[in-house]
Amino acid sequence: MTSAAPLNGVKVVELGTMYAAPTAGRMLRDFGADVIKVEDPTSGDYARQWIPQKDGLSLGFSRLNAGKRSLGVDLRTQQGRELVHKLIDDADVLVESFRPGRLEDWGLGPDELHETNPGLVIARVSGFGQTGPNRLLPGFGTVAETASGFANVNGWPDSPPTSPPFGFADSIAGLSAAMGVSMALFNRSRTGLGEVVDVALYEPLMFIIGDMFLKYTALGEVQQRIGNSTGAASPRGIYEAADGKFLSIAASNQAIATRLFAAMGRAKTIEDSRYATNAARLEHNDEVQAMVIEWCGSKPRAEILSILEEFEVVSAAVNDAADVVVDPHFRERTLVEITGNEILRNTLMPGPVLHMAGYAGPTYDGVPAVGEQTREVLTTRLGMDAGELDRLADAGIITA
């Protein structure tokens, strides 16, 4: 990390497992924070067991936790909780993802923590949030994706509701938590006080699909699954080219729709009253889609994309992982390597989700083993000596 990192010097304690809270921790670490990840001293974060793995190392865990420092402490013990409380007293931020009430039961709730560290920012990520009738219900990303309404509108009319094959809700919640932490740190610079950032897994996702709730409450219409369309603009979708490859086209405003018809050799189509406006095109969307499908099916994908680029029509190839990792743009701007771990040599993953002038970005220097930095952290942060650490390790309170 360089001194230009915007969160340089910020100390974060992560009491989060699996996906959402570790995503928040990674976002903060990406921009300079020192993130200490507290794990069970024997089993560690359950995400270490995720598939796929390479030589026993979970690739998903590696993506979210590379560059963090792992502290192995048993929070089920009073001594372990006391150690973590002292560590949090020396921190700027706590990120946690326990079910509401667990930290309070352990004496690590916001009231107790703010007594000794009033400037502490506490990000709490849970299934349904810290308030409301459902606050105590367990919730993973799949539950958030279904309860929010997302799964019900995702897919095709003749297919069942569909959740994505990745941690969608968790990732958005983690990003939102990191944004909340940043706002709270900014506010602390003015007030000197920390605060609680309460993130429910479903809420950021519900915000993204929010138009469907306005549609129902304003018009009485329940949005249904419509495949690759949005129901808001036409033409838009994913289309198959003559060579069997797919591409996306988004003619989501009048100017682009006009240029698309011209690109297809149908410049006069925009003058037809059935296709002259977005509302008219949506009313005749099946006919519009048939035109685009026919045109795309007549040429190989590369030729179609070249024509669309010439006419400044918003479009792109439907990439798979193999396409992305050889694309010069993504290689230059987005993809990064995890260094310091032979298992992951030449492995690529997405880097920070945004770029800031004056900050070159982080390095991802290794994936910590469970409790790998326990002695280092407790020595440097809490001033504990070797004898104390040995006694705690012998008792199973910390990683040996």
Which residues are marked as active site? 170
Edge-to-edge order in the sheet of strand 335-339:
348-350, 335-339, 364-365
How far, in Å, CA of 399 to CA of 43, rounded? 10
Q: Is there a contact between 122 and 110 (Cβ–Cβ < 8 Å)?
A: yes
Cβ atoms of 14 and 36 within 8 Å: the answer is yes
Q: In what helix (H) or strand (E) does residue 31 lie, and over which residues does it extend? A: none
- Decide if 236 contacts 282 (C-beta within 8 A): no
* Amino acid letter, residue 8: N
How many CA atoms lie within 13 Å of 126's alpha carbon, on the beta-carbon side?
A: 21
How does 148-173 read in b/e, with b if 16+ C-beta sit within 10 Å?
bbbbbbbbeeeeeeebeeebbbbbbb
Q: 53 to each of 40, 60, 81, how far by Cα in Å? A: 20, 8, 32
Number of neighbours of residue 184 by Cβ within 10 angstroms: 21
Number of Cβ within 10 Å of residue 222's Cβ equals: 11
Q: Give the containing element (helix H, strand E) for 240.
A: strand 236-240
Q: What is the 3-state secondary structure (H, E, C) of 120-162?
A: CEEEEEECCCCCCCCCCCCCCHHHHHHHCCHHHHCCCCCCCCC
Amino acid letter for position 368: P
CA gap 23, 169 in Å, rounded: 11
Rounded to 10 degrees, the C-alpha dihedral 99/104/107/108 comes to 60
The three-state secondary structure class of 233 is: coil
